Structure 1
Amino acid sequence: MKRINIITLLVAGIFSGSMLHAQETLTLQEAVKFALENKAEAKKSKLDVENAQYQIDEVRAGALPQISGSASVKYNAIIPSMPLDMGGQTTYIKMGQPWNSTAAISVNQQIFNQSLFTGLKAARTTREFYAINHQLTEEQLIEKVANAYYDVYTTQLQLETIDSNLGSTTKTRDVIAGLVQAGLGRKIDLDRTNVAINNLQANRQIVINALELKENALKFAIGMGMETDIVLPTETFDIDAGLAGYAVSELNNRTEIQILEKQNELLELNRQNIKADYYPKLSFGGDLGYTGFGQGFPLGGDFNWFGTSGLGLNLSIPIFNGGATKAKVNQATIKIKQAQVDLEDTKLALNLANENARAQIKNSLLTVDANRRNTQLAQEVLNDTNNNYRNGLATLTELLDAENALSDAQNNLNTSLLNYKVAEIQLIKANGKLKTLVNE
């Protein structure tokens, strides 16, 4: 698999709007920043925040004067006649002229409309909701990217472990091959060593394939093109034993809780909007216009114009609608109660996640420490066994077993480091500080 410096990120930046400098490796902070600028979820949530202001503008427009103009022209091909009885004689009089036209401008201003006032409050609350939702989207994206990032790193460590073991076994094979060639070693030992090398090479290819898949998953998680080659830094697993004593912040500070509370506010405003149907509506209306009649076309013909104007108040009072409004209010109340149940359940789930994260941190610290000591011990055993084998005091089986034991110890250490990092992310999330992964 190709693994070169990320100079191709300059090309990816042309299409994504974000660039990483040439000769730089992809750190966790760079990966997160790249995702926040390029991943679809982040882009869409930003657009939702922008769109919320347009929703406010739309509702506010209803409180402003509504002005409209109209005009029409009509040709009466057949003018209707009306009979009139005059002195016992019936006379037919044509009602109208061949041409008539109207032009008017009208204005309407809401004076009292409870639904409109509630809508303005709901629009502002909606903007706050989308702002919190954008923050939650970013936090979820950071968590996803961090997990994918450390998953890639763990696989890289597995590959390094196999490469180290392969190098050690290859050196042992070369020594045995020299002994066999000199007539001092057994060919069966050489064959067994070659089998071990072949197995390691096969496992190495499996890990390489898995690493490529996980790198692609990381690229997708941050919105990076699949054609871009990435390189992670050589050291990322820093262990902070102080995390075990972290005190989790109040749940009310969690974005998940804030967004549910804001949803409850919106549901309450929806209920108030429904209740607005109980209130009367008052508006002012006025119009100014002209009506014209004539024998010819309005422009240039025999045509006369007459001005018209009117001002008035429009009052609408609800009296009885069969209980439809009450039923709608009750439905809205049920939705509020359901949302409150969801809020309490979310708090319970977050409490569980917080306690699990703290417990996992403590367990991971103990496991990492134990695996590190075990890896060091396995390395010492291998060194002693290798020395004994060269002096004829240990068998090849013991040497290969020692190499496998070291490989297992190193893989266990890598796994425990990944588990620690995953728990660390969850604990940082529990404290509402995932954004610190961007600013570190």
Structure 2
Amino acid sequence: MFKKRLLLVGLSIMFLSKAAYSQEESAVPQGVLTLDQVVEFALVQSPIIRQAQIDEEIGDRNIKSNLADWYPQITASAAGAYNIKLQQQIIGDQLITFGQPYNSNVLFQADQTLFNRDQLFASKTSKYYRQQLQQVIENAKIKTVVDVSKAFYSILLSEEQLNILDQNLGRLEKQYKDAYSRFDAGLVDKTDYQRASIALTNVKSDRNRVANSFEAKYDYLKQLMGYPEDFDFTIEFDTQRAEGKIAEDAADPLMLENRVEYKLLQTQQTLNEIQTGYAKWNYLPQLSAYYRYNLNYFNANFSELYQTAYPISAVGLNLSIPIFQGGKRIHQVKAAELQVDRGNIEIENLSKQIRTEYSTALAAYNSSVYEWQLIRENMEMAEEVYNIIKLQYDEGIKAYVELVVAETDLQTAQINHINAFYQVLEDKLDLEKALGTIN
């Protein structure tokens, strides 16, 4: 019977583990992923976002801990003592001994804060601390979107480069075979197929370098996403649609309030101003109420100590009024006011930095778009030149060296075009970040 139960428990654990693993596996996107899917996963599983969310929870607990002092504080304490030498006093001609050898007491006390500047400060700032924590998460999300998107584009760039190199590799292999056949037939000298061999080797070397970069780039993207190491995926991207959107895009006007860094500084400045008020509250009294219930025990014998209790209880108020603190309050107020002045300078400086960042990002984006359009025209021209020279070479009009030059120019133009296009996408991300419009 015991063995059967043990077997059932083992099977239950196995099925539960398998179900949990299946659930975890289904939550991880696999197969072919778009940029939106990659970013969506990263916004949940990215390490920096998860850390920021934990920081928010920690901050929320600290806020609640500070606000908890507004609630009644109930404590209990107990003490006991053996009086080795009891107090004695002469009254008249008699020696009187006070107390008992054994005594003990149990105290229950409830305190209630009625007015306290620390608690007022905690209540007034809690809203802004929570707002600050949320803004930190927002900042982490923006950084994640930018970093993940750029890592995504880097993989796409390598894929496009690989496609171009594969196309060129196919053409060069055919040209090498044709050149060798012509040499073998005695129509040309061996330099033609040797040039073809050199060009073919160079392209193979470039292709190998690009192909070997994929694993590292995918690992980096997974790291940014918080993607499990045991799973794999590939990516896809609608390049034509992206190219069409670039022509439609127009830069939005800069609004400082859209930048999370600016909002963070504004929140901090609000806290600085509240801190100034807190320093000025130093002269305010502190008021609290209390209730005490104390059980006292006295006896000459320890075994009978707790047979009889002598309770006392009291209710009252505690009022504390600061009168003179050696100029401490004045210095604290001045330091808080200086912190506000410093915050104003910091906000002004950040505003200038954001404007500079925006103008730099806008200039870079406009330049990259212009360059991409020129390079695209250049690529189309290189394709046309190559096709013409290829026809002329096949007809024996052009020398092979001219075909090699045209092939090299075409490959360079294609690589430059795809590099320029993905540079546009990256610069667009930087511009959106500078504008604070990344969702």
Shorter-chain TM-score: what band? 0.7 to 0.9
Instruction: Judge which range, 186-195 or 163-172, deviates more.
Output: 186-195
Describe how 1:217-232 pairs up with structure 2 within 5 A: 217-226=220-229, 228-232=231-235
Give the corresponding residue for 2:13. none
Give the corresponding residue for 1:165. 168
Identity of aligned residues (%): 27
Instruction: Judge which range, 110-119 or 348-357, deviates more.
Output: 348-357
Give the corresponding residue for 2:61. 54
TM-aligned CA deviation for residue 134 of structure 1: 0.9
Q: 2:376 aligns with which of 372, 375, 381?
A: 372
Give the corresponding residue for 2:14. none
TM-aligned CA deviation for residue 43 of structure 1: 0.4
Q: Does 1:275 align with 2:253?
A: no
Write the distance in 2 (CA, Å) between the matches of 1:329 and 1:302. 54
Q: Which amino acid aligns with 2:402?
A: E
Give the corresponding residue for 1:6. none
Change over 3 Å in CA distance of 1:164–1:302 after alignment to 2: closer
Write the distance in 1 (CA, Å) between the matches of 2:248 and 2:85. 93
- Residue pair 2:148, 2:225 contacting (<8 A) in 1 also: yes
Write the distance in 1 (CA, Å) between the matches of 2:74 and 2:230. 56
Describe how 1:63-78 pairs up with structure 2 within 5 A: 63-76=70-83, 78=84
Q: SS of 1:304's equivalent?
A: coil
TM-aligned CA deviation for residue 301 of structure 1: 5.6
Write the distance in 2 (CA, Å) between the matches of 1:223 and 1:12. 19
Change over 3 Å in CA distance of 1:227–1:106 after alignment to 2: closer
- Residue pair 2:256, 2:262 contacting (<8 A) in 1 also: yes
Change over 3 Å in CA distance of 1:11–1:363 after alignment to 2: farther
Change over 3 Å in CA distance of 1:210–1:11 after alignment to 2: farther
Give the corresponding residue for 1:137. 140
Q: Which amino acid aligns with 1:150?
A: Y
Unaligned 5+ segments in structure 2 are 1-19
Give the corresponding residue for 2:15. none
Give the corresponding residue for 1:323. 327
Change over 3 Å in CA distance of 1:289–1:302 after alignment to 2: closer
TM-aligned CA deviation for residue 130 of structure 1: 0.5
Unaligned 5+ segments in structure 1 are 1-9, 436-440
TM-aligned CA deviation for residue 226 of structure 1: 4.9
TM-aligned CA deviation for residue 163 of structure 1: 1.6
Write the distance in 2 (CA, Å) between the matches of 1:227 and 1:193. 43
Change over 3 Å in CA distance of 1:143–1:367 after alignment to 2: same
- Residue pair 1:52, 1:123 contacting (<8 A) in 2 also: no
Give the corresponding residue for 2:260. 255
Q: 2:357 aligns with which of 353, 357, 366?
A: 353
TM-aligned CA deviation for residue 426 of structure 1: 2.5
Change over 3 Å in CA distance of 1:234–1:272 after alignment to 2: closer
- Residue pair 1:69, 1:106 contacting (<8 A) in 2 also: yes
**Deviation by residue 1:196-216 (Cα, 9 ceiling, x = unmatched):** 111111122222233433332
Q: 1:41 aligns with which of 30, 45, 48?
A: 48
Q: Does 1:216 align with 2:216?
A: no
Give the corresponding residue for 2:17. none
Change over 3 Å in CA distance of 1:236–1:94 after alignment to 2: farther
Write the distance in 2 (CA, Å) between the matches of 1:303 and 1:362. 91
Instruction: Judge which range, 239-248 or 202-211, deviates more.
Output: 239-248
Q: Does 1:154 align with 2:157?
A: yes
TM-aligned CA deviation for residue 264 of structure 1: 0.8
Q: 1:194 aligns with which of 168, 193, 197?
A: 197
Give the corresponding residue for 1:363. 367
Write the distance in 1 (CA, Å) between the matches of 2:285 and 2:306. 48
Write the distance in 2 (CA, Å) between the matches of 1:381 and 1:227. 48
Q: Which amino acid aligns with 2:88?
A: M
**Deviation by residue 1:303-325 (Cα, 9 ceiling, x = unmatched):** 43212112222111111111122
Change over 3 Å in CA distance of 1:334–1:413 after alignment to 2: same
- Residue pair 2:42, 2:224 contacting (<8 A) in 1 also: yes
Q: Does 1:86 align with 2:92?
A: yes
Change over 3 Å in CA distance of 1:140–1:379 after alignment to 2: same
Q: Which amino acid aligns with 2:298?
A: F
Change over 3 Å in CA distance of 1:124–1:230 after alignment to 2: same
TM-aligned CA deviation for residue 229 of structure 1: 3.7
Change over 3 Å in CA distance of 1:303–1:216 after alignment to 2: closer
Write the distance in 2 (CA, Å) between the matches of 1:11 and 1:183. 68
TM-aligned CA deviation for residue 350 of structure 1: 1.7
Write the distance in 1 (CA, Å) between the matches of 2:157 and 2:349. 34
Q: Which amino acid aligns with 2:400?
A: L
Q: Does 1:407 align with 2:414?
A: no
Q: SS of 1:25's equivalent?
A: strand
Change over 3 Å in CA distance of 1:65–1:227 after alignment to 2: closer
Q: Which amino acid aligns with 1:40?
A: P
- Residue pair 1:105, 1:287 contacting (<8 A) in 2 also: yes
Write the distance in 1 (CA, Å) between the matches of 2:147 and 2:77. 57
Change over 3 Å in CA distance of 1:12–1:381 after alignment to 2: farther
Write the distance in 1 (CA, Å) between the matches of 2:91 and 2:334. 63
- Residue pair 2:75, 2:110 contacting (<8 A) in 1 also: yes
Q: SS of 1:106's equivalent?
A: strand
Instruction: Judge which range, 425-434 or 413-422, deviates more.
Output: 425-434
Bigger helix share: 2
**Deviation by residue 1:281-303 (Cα, 9 ceiling, x = unmatched):** 111122112111113336x5684
TM-aligned CA deviation for residue 85 of structure 1: 4.4
**Deviation by residue 1:113-135 (Cα, 9 ceiling, x = unmatched):** 12211111112210111012111
Q: Does 1:342 align with 2:346?
A: yes
Change over 3 Å in CA distance of 1:11–1:308 after alignment to 2: closer
- Residue pair 1:102, 1:290 contacting (<8 A) in 2 also: yes
Instruction: Judge which range, 66-75 or 230-239, deviates more.
Output: 230-239
TM-aligned CA deviation for residue 336 of structure 1: 2.0
Give the corresponding residue for 1:4. none
Give the corresponding residue for 1:264. 269
Write the distance in 2 (CA, Å) between the matches of 1:203 and 1:310. 89
- Residue pair 2:258, 2:437 contacting (<8 A) in 1 also: no
Write the distance in 2 (CA, Å) between the matches of 1:233 and 1:61. 52
